[in-house]
Amino acid sequence: MEEDEDCPELVPITELVQDEQTQCRIPVTIITGYLGAGKTTLLNYILTEQHNKRIAVIVNEFGEGSAVEKSLAISQAGELYEEWLELRNGCLCCSVKDNGLKAIENLMQKKGKFDYILLETSGLADPGAVASMFWVDAELGSDIYLDGIVSVVDAKYALQHLLEEKPEGLINEAARQVALADVIVINKTDLVSAQELEDVRSVARSINGLVKILETQRSRVDLAEILDLHAFDSLSGKSLQDKLITSKAHPHLDKSIVTVTFEVFGNVIEENLHLFIQNLLWEKNVNNRNGVSMEVIRLKGLVAIDNKHQQVIVQGVHELYDLEETQVTWEGERLNRMVFIGRNLDKDVLKQLFESALKS
C-alpha cells in the first residue's frame, strides 16, 4: 500500500506549472449522462482496465429510500475491491455538503489514499449541483478537487433527448449535461448509421462549442482522454476562437443552449468583474437584445485583473463562481478570454458589459 504522503504519479508534463497544492490533492471526475446511456458500463470498463492508479468509484443513485450505504468500488491494477460508504441520508448529492466528502476522506484514512475518484451521478441528476459541492468544499481545504465532468450520450436516443422541448422555464436535462461537460462520450455507435452519428455530434457541438467529443462502443474510451483534464484549473493555450469548434448545424430551437466566447485586451477591475458576474449568475438581470434574461449554466474565463501580474481563472457553474489566481504571469499583451454556455445568450451584450468592466 502506498504511503499517505505520496502524490499521484501520473502528473501530465503540461500541468507541472500547476500550484503544488493541486499536485497532492485527489482528482474527482463526475460521470454524468442520460438514463441508460452507458455510465455504469464506462465505470466497469475503467475499473477492470489495467492502469496504475488506485481508483475509487462512487455511485450516486437515487430512489433507494432510507438506504444509508453506498457501494464504493476501488480498483487497483485491475483488481477490484468493494467498500461501503456510509452516508447519513443515503443521497450523496445531499450529503456531500455535510458529511459526504468527510466519509470519503475517512475512508481514505482507513484504506490509504486513492489516486483518483470517479463519481457517477444518476441519469436525471444535475451534474452542476454535484460539481458545486466539491467546489465549495475545496475552499474549506479539502484534499479532493474537481477535475472534470464527463457526459455519456446515447447515440441512438441522444437527438430525441437533446431536442425535446420542455415546458416554459424548465431546462432540458440531457442538454444541460452536455452543456456542463468537458468531455462527451457518444456511446453505442454500433446502433446508429454514420449520418445519425454525425447529427448527434453536430447537435452536441452546437450546445457546447469547446467540449471534447469521443465516440465509443461499450464505453471503451482511452482513459487518458477523460482523466486528469484539469478542466477547472486551466484555460490555457490557443486562442479561444481557434479552440471554439463551431458546428454547422444551427441550433434547432430559440431556447437552445449555446456557447458564446470572446476575447478582449485590457485590464479588468476586479470589483467590476464581480458585479458583472453576479448580475449574470445571481441577479439574472442581464438581458439579451430581445429583453430576455440570459441564463448561464457554465462560465469559464482567463482574465487580466488590474494590478495583478498573475493570470486569474474564473469558473462558474450555475450560481456558483470563483476567481483563482494562477501561477502564470502575464507576458506581453493582456488578453482576457471568456466562455459562456447557456440559454438566451447574447454575445454582443456580454462583450460590451465585459468591456465596461475594464479600466479605461
Ligand X SMILES: Nc1nc2c(ncn2[C@@H]2O[C@H](COP(=O)(O)OP(=O)(O)OP(=O)(O)O)[C@@H](O)[C@H]2O)c(=O)[nH]1
* Interface with ligand X (CB under 6 A): 33, 35-41, 123, 152, 187-188, 190-191, 217-219
The minimum distance between CB 222 and ligand X, in angstroms, equals 15
Between 74 and 269, name the residue whose CB sits nearer to Zn ion.
Answer: 74
Please give the full DSSP string across 44-57, using - where no structure is assigned.
HHHHHS--SSEEEE
Radius of gyration for the alpha carbons in the chain, expressed in angstroms and rounded: 20
Q: Say how many C-beta atoms besides its own lie within 10 A of residue 105's C-beta.
A: 17
Residue positions counted in the chain: 360
Between 123 and 209, name the residue whose CB sits nearer to Zn ion.
Answer: 123
The minimum distance between CB 30 and Zn ion, in angstroms, equals 13
The minimum distance between CB 171 and Zn ion, in angstroms, equals 22
Q: Name the residue among 109, 97, 47, 43 with its Cα closest to residue 76.
A: 47
Q: Decide which of ligand X, Zn ion, none touches 311; Cβ closer than 5 to 8 Å per partner kind.
A: none
Q: Contact positions toward Zn ion, by CB under 5 A? A: 39-40
Between 37 and 104, name the residue whose CB sits nearer to ligand X.
Answer: 37
Q: Decide which of Zn ion, ligand X, none touches 41; Cβ closer than 5 to 8 Å per partner kind.
A: ligand X
Alpha helices, H only, the chain: 20-24, 39-48, 92-95, 101-111, 127-139, 158-163, 173-180, 194-207, 240-243, 270-278, 347-355
The minimum distance between CB 237 and ligand X, in angstroms, equals 32
Q: Decide which of Zn ion, ligand X, none touches 261; Cβ closer than 5 to 8 Å per partner kind.
A: none
Between 164 and 190, name the residue whose CB sits nearer to ligand X.
Answer: 190
* Residue 345 grid cell: 445568450
Q: Decide which of Zn ion, ligand X, none touches 218; Cβ closer than 5 to 8 Å per partner kind.
A: ligand X
Between 36 and 251, name the residue whose CB sits nearer to Zn ion.
Answer: 36
- Which residue(s) pair with 185 in the sheet? 152, 214
Cα 207 from Cα 209, distance rounded (Å)? 6
The minimum distance between CB 70 and Zn ion, in angstroms, equals 13
Q: Name the residue among 159, 147, 312 with its Cα closest to residue 235.
A: 312
The minimum distance between CB 43 and ligand X, in angstroms, equals 8
Between 186 and 257, name the residue whose CB sits nearer to Zn ion.
Answer: 186
CB 235 within 8 A of CB 215: no
